[in-house]
Amino acid sequence: MHAGIPVGVHVLFEREGGILLMRRAGTGFFDGLFSLPGGHVEPGESLARTAVREMREELGIDIDPAELANMGVVHRRSDTNRVDFFLRAKAWSGEPHICEPGKCDALGWFARDELPVNTVAYVRDALAAGDGPWLLELGW
């Protein structure tokens, strides 16, 4: 992967009530839209370590990296030419809650076939691709 391409990690949490989505707020990036929790890979950080760090920061939950499974990858043409990895959390400890109210103003569990209308388009596409593994190239 080219060092200049931003890399993101999104984590799917699933339980009987559906999948966990958070509504972005105050970030300047997709504010007002629902997305899977996630964040940017920091220099020297693995995908799994990014997921563990971001979920602790955003949701106050802990994940063992061994409990993460690959779903797929989205390479999307956007203003940044970005690559996003989608991982499934098979298990976690703690109850997800908003830990960064300046970046998220709502959390909810939604059925995969009843996502909010205001869901980020590439996240919607990734969820529609199924359990994977898959590779989506969007916007090219």
Per residue in 62-83, pLDDT (tens digit) is 999 999 999 999 999 877 788 9
C-alpha 135/C-alpha 3 separation (Å) is 20
CB proximity list for 4: less than 8 A, separation 6 or greater: none
C-alpha 12/C-alpha 36 separation (Å) is 6
Q: Residue 102's Cα: distance from chain center in Å?
A: 17
pLDDT of residue 4: 76
Q: pLDDT at residue 3 above 70?
A: no
Environment class of 93 (CB within 10 Å of its CB; exposed 0-12, middle 13-18, buried 19+): exposed
C-alpha 73/C-alpha 135 separation (Å) is 5
CB 60 within 8 A of CB 97: yes
Domains of the chain, first to last: 7-120+133-138 (3.90.79.10)
Per residue in 78-110, pLDDT (tens digit) is 777 889 999 999 999 999 999 999 999 999 999
